Amino acid sequence: MSFDDYNKREGMTPRQIADLFTSVASSYDQIWTIPSYRDPIHVSECVSDFFKEDKRASVRILDVAAGTGMLAEQLWKKGFRQLDGLGPSSGMMGEAMKKGVYTNYYLEFMDENPISTLKTDTYDCVVAAGAFNIGLLPCAALLEMVRLVKPGGVICFGILDARFTEVKDYIDRLEPLMQWLEQDGAWQLLDKKHYDDSYDQDPGNLFRYIVRASDVQVKQYIQKLRHAH
């Protein structure tokens, strides 16, 4: 299948999707710089706006669905040095580690299950660019993001407007989960910035959430998600 034939990812397992990304890893950066893919730039700017310049070198950041490190490269340019990556593709990890911007790269697929190698409240910030798409991050990945960020830290991610209605897993589930987490005091929306050029002139929003409590009732949210459709 073609890498950008997104709809065919619906029936694929996480391992099949990881293998798909590995198959295009060596040309991935070139693939995404042909269209105007600006999500990594937007995310890095919003993270930089949150942390003062003289503090950035010590801020611990986890880049989720890190791919080849396009977002981490942008963050590095802005003075961040404690960057870890996380993604399921060994090929993408190999390309990312050549860039010298990550301290660690965890070969994991993020969902609601705690990642055993990462302790609660490990990071000051979790970021994700281009990660909410067919076959990539499930809704429940937000629960694990919250667990990993210290209270007072920030989670920053972009989502194209169309993803909320085009990706089956997200329809009537992703946006409600974001709201449930806020209602329950797990996080608080700092701001939502709209962009017309997140990817190839497609509009999207960049969300910044302040984490308030890292101990979330995962089973409760999974039950609500199951009954959301």
- Measured from the Cβ of residue 148, the count of other Cβ atoms closer than 10 Å reads 25
Q: By C-alpha distance, which of 202, 161, 152, 181 is closest to 51?
A: 152
Q: By C-alpha distance, which of 34, 76, 35, 37 is closest to 59?
A: 76
Two tokens, residue 21: 């990304």
Q: How confident is the model at residue 1 (pLDDT cuts 50, 70, 90)?
A: very low
User: What was the pLDDT predicted at 2?
Assistant: 44
Above 90 in pLDDT, residue 177? yes
Residue type, 186: A
Above 70 in pLDDT, residue 11? no
Q: In this predicted structure, which of 9-18, 45-54, 116-125, 156-165 has the lowest mean pLDDT?
A: 9-18
Q: By C-alpha distance, which of 98, 43, 47 is closest to 69?
A: 98
Contacts of 224 (CB under 8 A, 6+ apart): 176, 177, 180
Q: Please report, for residues 81, 183, 222, the alpha-carbon distance to residue 53 in angstroms, rounded to integers and kept in the order given.
A: 12, 32, 38
Superfamily of domain 6-226: Vaccinia Virus protein VP39 (3.40.50.150)
User: What was the pLDDT predicted at 187?
Assistant: 98
The domain ranges of the chain are 6-226
pLDDT tens across 90-143, in order? 998 999 999 999 999 999 999 999 999 999 999 999 999 989 988 889 999 999
User: What was the pLDDT predicted at 12?
Assistant: 74
